[in-house]
Structure 1
Amino acid sequence: MTDIAIHPEKLRDAVAGALGDKLREIRLALGEVTVVVAAEDYLAAMEILRDAPQCRFEQLIDLCGVDYSTYGEVGTDGLRYAVVTHLLSLSLNQRLRVKVFCPDDDFPVIPSVTGIWSGANWFEREAFDLYGIVFDGHSDLRRILTDYGFIGHPFRKDFPLSGHVEMRYDAEQRRVVYEPVTIEPREITPRIIREDNYGGLH
């Protein structure tokens, strides 16, 4: 186990030194280091994190999208969509979280990192499918979890819980058919008891 793996402060300082002016923000919380880079620096920063001797993040272990539109600390004041990547250095036994925000809320685009880590392929397809984030340079960017005829991106905060259409198998037509949604959306709020000393509790 390396000294950096034992002391995340040293990892924070090593990453900050390697990224230099490409670093927008760096945080250490709960023993984990998170960096934020700008979209225009994303690819260059990722190559540095893979190749720099004090980083050597050879493996991408996760990549996901985030819709910040309903987050209290971001909401409408910041950019809506982010891509969050988790990197692992097997040789140095260290982990890092990288966050980049898409500069355009109406058409979220970010460069693909499949040229750096081929394992990003299906993760980026998932973020495209669920959030509508486009990964520029991806060789096969298509849906991976929803049907090819699916309308919208179901992990966006404004996507209706009931969806836009229903699908079922029609035995007479011997195929799947799409129909308007028949479920009426409703919100169920559980009963909350606010009595003092309820059940003998103080």
Structure 2
Amino acid sequence: MTTKLETLESVLRNTLGDHVQSLESAFGELTLVVKAADYLSVMRTLRDDAGLRFDELIDLCGVDYSTYADGAWDGPRFAVVNHLLSVEHNWRLRVRVFAPDDDMPVVSSLVDIWPTANWYEREAFDLFGILFEGHTDLRRILTDYGFIGHPFRKDFPVSGYVEMRYDPEQKRVIYQPVTIEPRENIPRVIREDKYGMK
């Protein structure tokens, strides 16, 4: 007797064929990895094929693998991970695609397939700097317009690059280089000898 995951895996392998770079089961879900060149056609097939019908994009996020496995990761740095749901078949699927260029991470936009990808892709662009080719309104969504850098990248400094403050002389908010000295806080714990005893 085959399980639901085994059935889905079989359907995916038969439908996608050589487009499957890897297909693994983890945490009760299948993770499909596809090449960036095949990404758009695979996602369209996942939505439109009668045997799959992944009609909902639940989530899309960016991932920075630069320090993954304590630096032992030897693959592309940036990935986009999608979570799909097929209401008809009651299946969930995780799809991962790696951007081929670490210096300029670009993958295709899914807005034409699932309109809900719009803000998810803007968030991945804003926080990770991943560009989505074909997105018609790719601009920051969470950080300020003048913000420099992408705060979820592993090499982004903890304190950032600039700080914002009100300047009473100019009567406006200004940006200036960070003036905070980096320091390490070590928590100090003081315990009484008879703590909790009556």
Same topology, TM > 0.5 = yes
Name 2:107's counterpart in structure 1: 110
Contact 1:24 1:35 in 2 (8 A): yes
* Larger displacement relative to structure 2 (141-150 or 14-23): 14-23
Q: Is 1:91 the counterpart of 2:84 in the alignment?
A: no
Give the superposition deviation at 1:189.
5.8
Q: How many residues align?
A: 188
SS in 2 for 1:39: coil
- Identify the residue that residue 160 of structure 1 maps to in structure 2: 157
Q: 1:179 to 1:10 in 2, by over 3 A?
A: same
- CA root-mean-square deviation: 2.0
Matched, 1:130 2:127: yes
Counterpart amino acid of residue 163 in structure 2: E
1:62 alignment partner, SS class? strand
Unmatched runs of 5 consecutive residues or more in structure 2:
189-198
CA contact (8 A) 1:85 1:98 kept: yes
Deviation at 1:30, TM superposition (A): 2.6
2:14 aligned with 1:14: no
2:78 maps to a residue whose letter is Y
TM-score scaled to structure 2, two decimals? 0.88
Aligned counterpart, 1:45: 42
Query: In 2, distance between residues paired with 1:180 and 1:190?
Result: 28
Secondary structure at the counterpart of residue 63 of structure 2: strand
Q: Structure 1, unaligned stretches of length 5 or more? A: 192-202
Checking the alignment, whether the CA contact within 8 Å between 1:9 and 1:28 is kept in structure 2 is no
Moved more, 15-24 or 35-44: 15-24
Q: CA offset at residue 178 of structure 1?
A: 0.4
Show structure 1 runs of 4+ deviating over 4 A.
Answer: 73-76, 188-191
Q: Percent identity?
A: 63
